[in-house]
Amino acid sequence: MWEHQSLFRVSAQLFAEGVFNLLDRNLRPEVFLLGLASAREADEPEGVVLEPQSVRYRPLDFADIKDRAAALEADAGPRDVVYHLHPNDHDRYEKQRWYELVCQATESTLRELTAARQENRRSFCSVPVNLQGYLVTVVLQVATDCYESYYAIPKSGGPRPANLLHATVLEFLHDCTRALREADTADNEQPALDRDYNEVLRSAGRRLMLRAAPAGTQGLYDACNGVAALRHEGSEGVGTLLVARRQHPAIVPVLTLETPVTLRDHRSIRKLLELSEDATALVSDASHVFGLGQLVPETDPRYEPLVTVNFTHHYSWEMSHAGHVLMRVVSNTPRLPQGRVAADNFGRTVRRVFPSLDSDSVDYLWDLTASASTQPTGTILVFSTGAAQEAQRLSRQSFRVAPRIITPTVLRLVTNIDGAVFIEPTGVCHSIGAILDGLATEKGDSSRGSRFNSALRYVNSSQYPCLAVVVSEDGWIDLLPAQ
């Protein structure tokens, strides 16, 4: 399609891994390019091009994309837009409309292919870009079971994100489309996609909050960060904010301000948060706070699940919907709600790292992990087949213990000190308080603490199959399997 298509695809793959591994390493993102030649029939040589050619699909699988897009156009009915008078505007709209239909047809084709082959892959496509005679689409695939394990806001059709993961997918594809448009003019010695990974997640958080704001009001995400950064008379900002349009029938007013307070006035909002308590929360339309209110019970016919912002600690807040946490934001960095590790997610990860482990052992490791997740000061568990050898190697920077099956009760005691706990997959403990070592890795995250990064360095350098469970003080829990 073009000279540097392989470089672009590799850059997009690394970019996807860097972004989505910060959310959940079990997503296993995969990126490939699909090109449809504008001047060739699909059954002609190079009429359909895949990059890389070694991808598990064939060009023939996508031979009817244009026919499908044309059928979608015929089924779409009358135009839902008022045309501008200038012909260039007509052409621009028709071209964009056609590209969007090609995108829909490609996603539909991939859904059928993955279903027929029973692949555990969920596919997303960028809007095509016309590049040197080809309509080039970036295809992103992630693990379906992992993607669907996170709560999504119902009825979120089209480009409206359903959760943080969906918003990140949209942001990633938007960046890919922008980079494709610059492919002809960009300096090919530079990475095609070099945006900071955490900045992508922050943009995804803004995109998600924009969906929650009535009438698409901008600025809710940044306002929440500004409020969470402040203290009131030395205390942390803890309180609740309900996001809804004014006079929402599902909210019972408790107190109404004569003059609503703009959300840009972070200090006033932080002070008003002191009024929220239990079921009573500040009520905002994402532009102003106009009082206190309570959400009616679920049994009430007026009930409607609303977006809630819970300020939990200094620099920390959560976005929830219908009681489900959609994202946690700490120091202006959003993450998926992994405050408690899900048992099925943990089980999948353990079986991938230790395939010969029986179900009882997996359940026991889960009990240990659940116990560690209650540690308020944070800790690290390292499940490793080489736990005994590593305890010996790190004996100068750990406390070796006589090998014994460690119980959840004992684990709560030994995690009161700093350092990692080395445990065999069978549950036998060999060392506590270990200071982990390892080589620096490009997968490190400067926005996370030393506990996370030291565990990441260790698992990426380990010569034994291992899984590190990192419990951070801010409530995040990460599963870091050796790759």
203 belongs to a structural domain: no
Taking residue 409's Cβ as centre, other Cβ atoms within 10 Å add up to 8
Looking at 288, 314, 335, the residue that finishes a domain is 335
Number of neighbouring beta carbons within 10 Å of residue 331: 14
| In-domain check, residue 82 | yes
Q: Are residues 183 and 242 in the same domain?
A: no
Those residues whose C-beta lies under 8 Å from the C-beta of residue 269, and which sit 6 or more positions away, are 223, 227, 261, 263, 282, 289
Quote the pLDDT of residue 77: 55
Quote the pLDDT of residue 394. Answer: 92
Question: Does a structural domain hold residue 211?
Answer: no
CA distance linking residue 71 with residue 244, whole number of Å: 39
CA distance linking residue 410 with residue 408, whole number of Å? 6
In the chain, % of residues over pLDDT 70: 87
Distance from C-alpha of 406 to C-alpha of 371, rounded to nearest angstrom: 11
Check pLDDT > 90 for residue 483: no
DSSP 358-426: -HHHHHHHHHHHHHHTT-TT-EEEEEETTHHHHHHHTGGGSEEEEEEEPPHHHHHHHTTSSSEEEE-TT
**pLDDT confidence band for 450 (50 / 70 / 90):** confident
- Whether 319 shows a pLDDT value over 60: the answer reads yes
Q: Last residue of some domain: 127, 162, 195?
A: 195
Residue showing tokens 């997640």:
201
Do 278 and 190 lie in one domain? The reply is no
Q: Are residues 320 and 379 in the same domain?
A: no
Whether residues 101 and 140 share a domain: the answer is yes
Q: What are phi and psi of 395, to 5 degrees?
A: -65, -25
For residue 179, give Cα distances in angstroms to 4, 92, 183, 348, 455. Answer: 12, 20, 6, 35, 33
Q: Evaluate whether residue 329 is within a structural domain.
A: yes
What does the pLDDT average to over 154-177? 86
Least confident of 175-189, 376-390, 395-409: 175-189
Distances (CA, A) of 218 to 33, 63, 125, 239: 33, 42, 26, 22
- How does residue 52 score in pLDDT terms, banded at 50, 70 and 90? confident
Residues 14 and 142 placed together within one structural domain of the fold: yes
* Shared domain check, 386 and 250: no
Tens-place pLDDT, residues 2-12: 778 888 899 99
What backbone torsions phi and psi does residue 23 show, to the nearest 5 degrees?
-90, -55
Residues 363 and 460 occupy one common structural domain: yes
* Domain CATH code at residue 230: 3.40.1700
Higher model confidence: residue 22 or residue 42?
22
Q: Which domain holds residue 307?
A: 220-335
Mean pLDDT of 437-443: 75
| 215 belongs to a structural domain | no
Instruction: With respect to residue 326, please indicate whether it lies within any of the assigned structural domains.
Output: yes
What would the two tokens of residue 61 be?
């699988």
Question: What pLDDT band is residue 452 in, cutting at 50, 70 and 90?
Answer: confident
| Same domain for 82 and 144 | yes
Per-residue pLDDT at 349 exceeds 80? yes
Higher pLDDT pick, 95 / 436: 436
Work out the angle between the directed axes of helices 87-116 and 65-75 (0-180°, nearest 10).
Answer: 120
- Number of structural domains the chain divides into: 3
Please report whether residue 205 resides in a domain: no
Same-domain check for residues 170 and 93: yes
Q: Does 236 lie in the same domain as 191?
A: no
d(C-alpha 399, C-alpha 378), whole Å: 18
Last residue of a domain, which of 314, 335, 356?
A: 335
Where is average pLDDT lowest: 14-23, 40-49, 120-129?
40-49
What mean pLDDT, rounded, does the chain reach? 85
Section 172-176 average pLDDT? 94
**331 and 393 fall within a common domain:** no
Q: Which of the four pLDDT bands, split at 50, 70 and 90, describes residue 339?
A: very low
Residues 294 and 349 in one domain: no
Has residue 125 been placed in a domain? Answer: yes
**Quick check: 204 and 196 in contact, CB under 8 A?**
no
Q: Which residue has the higher pLDDT, 83 or 45?
A: 45
For the beta sheet containing 324-330, the strands, ordered from the edge strand earlier in sequence to the opposite edge, are 251-262, 288-295, 280-284, 239-243, 307-313, 316-321, 324-330, 333-335
Single-letter amino acid, residue 1: M
What distance, in Å, lies between the first and last C-alpha atoms of the chain? 33
